Amino acid sequence: MWNDGPLFDPGDAAFNARLDKVIAAMKAREIDGLLLLKHESVRYVSGFYTKGYRPFLDFDYVALVRPGHDTVVGYALGGEDRRIARRSRVRKSFRLPPLKGWGPGIEQLIIEEGFTQGRLAFDLLPHFVFGHLSAALPGLELVDASEIWADTTATKCPEELPVIERALEVAQAGVAAALEAIEPGVTEIAVSAAGEERMRLLGSEMNPFIPVVSSGINAAIWERVATHKPIGEGEMVILDFGSVIDGYTGDSARTTVVGTPTAEQRAIYRAAYDALNRSIEAVKPGVLCSEIAMISQRTIEDAGFARYAQPWAVGHQLGFGLHGTPVLAAGVDVPIEPGMVINIEPSIYTYDDLTVGGVEIEDSILVEDGGVRLLTNLPYDQALLS
């Protein structure tokens, strides 16, 4: 439904709850100010849908957050003051010069806000801006904000959960539409278009990543984009789609096969399926992220596919961004907490045997005090499980 106000906005309760979390994390770490430059970070604290949100890393905006003070959004693009005034949740904006002048520009913003003493944390700052602020404002201690951001976004407040669940529903609908479109001779990009159209019609703001439709050789090497390759008989097809609803991300993946699968295709699919379900069963508060990754890895190793496993991680946090921290990977000895929404996605790719292909299956869970709640329900491919 169209409202003349903040665009794709989750409502007062969710916005206020996440801003409260930011302020609480700042106070816990004795941070007096928070300077945010990433587009999604600016949106998180201001409700403002920035230009080029997510697909780009342009330096166009800043947000200055301070406990007990109004959040200020700085902008370098002409006309954005009008959009900020009408389409955000902040009352103050500040015109910044082009990027080369951001050092003096942000200095002026900080001085006008009367904030020249204390600890200022930042999420992303060009070196020349860091150098200027350090020299011009010696009363400010500039520190890394990554721990504050992780504190804020890793666990979700109750007001955020319905939006995340809706985003997951839309992402799964995109995968389902793509599955319906698959048949021999149809191109990967046509399948991608079917899934993207379904998600957009259901209200997805954008794609948080380029949808993946990888078939045959592309599935074996984990090609990250849909191509003009026709999908062939006997090929495995990986589908990985994302949606964004009111700023929150849905992420869903399934793998299918065109026709009758081979024994090898069934074997890698079963290994990924077992890794997924054993990982989900092991998740509970207090278990380390690295322990879940080890369970997935051992399951795939025991099936004989260790060299084909995705080497990055078995999962990640899901919410306002996509690959939130902490990820589920070796060496990430961070305990899982209630309120985390975790996406688990074991993947196997037979890069040295292009006749088999690859598999990725993905589900999302909410960590609760007594265990987990499954947030996704898209069916698996029964032909590959038989």
Residue type, 107: E
Mean pLDDT of 337-345: 97
Give the type of residue at 103: G
Provide the H-helix boundaries in the chain.
12-28, 39-46, 80-87, 102-112, 127-136, 146-153, 161-181, 188-201, 217-221, 263-282, 289-302, 382-385
Domain ranges within the chain, ordered by starting residue: 12-153, 161-385
- Which 8-state DSSP code applies to residue 78? T
Helix axes 289-302, 263-282, angle to 10 degrees: 150
pLDDT band at residue 4, thresholds of 50, 70 and 90?
A: confident
Q: Is pLDDT at 53 greater than 90 in this prediction?
A: no
CA atoms of 87 and 103, how far apart (whole Å): 27
pLDDT over 80 at 1, yes or no = no
Q: What is the mean pLDDT of residues 257-277?
A: 98
| Residue position matching structure tokens 């948080």 | 208
In the 8-state DSSP scheme, what is residue 380? P
**Planar angle of CA 330, 331, 336, nearest 5 degrees:** 85
- As a whole number, mean pLDDT of residues 336-363 equals 97
Q: How far is CA 127 from the centre of its chain?
A: 26
pTM of the complete model:
0.93
- CB 245 within 8 Å of CB 167: yes
Local confidence band at 36 (pLDDT 50, 70, 90 cut-offs): very high
Q: How far from 218 is each of 186, 212, 215, 300, CA to CA, in Å? A: 15, 10, 5, 21
Structure tokens at 337: 């907490």
Evaluate whether the domain defined by 12-153 bears CATH number 3.40.350.10: yes
What is the CATH superfamily name and number for domain 161-385?
Answer: Creatinase/methionine aminopeptidase superfamily (3.90.230.10)
2, pLDDT greater than 70: no
Query: 236: which strand partners?
Result: 257
Nearest to 253 by CA among 373, 350, 171: 171
Give the Cα separation of 381 and 133 in Å (integer): 56
Q: Helix, strand, coil: what percent of the chain each, to 5? A: 40, 25, 40
Exposed/middle/buried for residue 114 (C-beta within 10 Å: 0-12, 13-18, 19+): exposed
**Choice between 207 and 51, residue whose per-residue pLDDT is larger:** 207
Nearest to 81 by CA among 66, 100, 60, 64: 60
- CA 204/CA 183 separation, integer angstroms: 26
Averaged pLDDT score across all residues of the chain: 95
Task: Dump pLDDT digits (tens) for 96-136.
Answer: 999 999 999 999 999 999 999 999 999 999 999 999 999 99
Q: Residue length, the chain?
A: 386
| Model confidence pLDDT, tens digit, residues 280-308 | 999 999 999 999 999 999 999 999 999 99
Q: Are strands 33-36 and 72-75 parallel, antiparallel or unpaired?
A: unpaired
Residue 303: both structure tokens together: 């099936």
Q: From CA 355, how far away is CA 122, in angstroms rounded? A: 48
